[in-house]
Amino acid sequence: MTQPKILVVEDDPEMVEILALNMEASGYRVSTAMDGYEALQKFDAERPDLVTLDLAMPTITGFRLLRLFKNAKQEVPIIVLSAFSFDEAEEVASLGADDFVTKPVHFPDLFLKMERALGVRGHAASRRER
């Protein structure tokens, strides 16, 4: 099985490092973007299998990026990672995201949601940290 390619869109350098290290250790290929313009460029150039997206982004907000990603020709699952709290059933659907994870991130939960969004069962990520 090829390693899923994940685009991590996050403006906090420490959070980027934590996310990337955990995802790579769990068998994902990771690319990162720390602002909206970089995220759009990498989304188009790298064609990720899944995007994790912070809503509070500089230059282009995560809310706007979510709409742009969802309107793109390629259909890519998007999991919002945010310190904001939402009623998941209504807000995630209204934003167009495939799922929502509240920060601080609990990695086993994030990996399970990533697997669900990717349609992958038994990826190394779901077994990590159990």
Query: What pLDDT, on the 0 to 100 scale, is given for residue 88?
Result: 54
Q: Which of 112, 98, 30, 29 is nearest to 69 (CA)?
A: 98
pLDDT on residue 27:
94
**In angstroms, rounded to a whole number, what is the distance separating the alpha carbons of residues 95 and 90?**
9
- Per-residue model confidence (pLDDT) at position 128: 42
Least Cα distance to 22 among 2, 39, 8 occurs for 8
Question: Which residues, 6+ apart, have CB-to-CB distance to 105 below 8 Å?
Answer: 18, 19, 81
Domains and CATH numbers, the chain: 5-122 (3.40.50.2300)
pLDDT tens for the chain, 130 residues: list them. Answer: 589 999 999 999 999 999 999 999 999 999 999 999 999 999 999 999 999 999 888 899 888 999 899 888 788 999 999 887 666 546 666 778 888 888 899 999 999 999 999 996 544 444 443 3
The model's pTM is 0.87
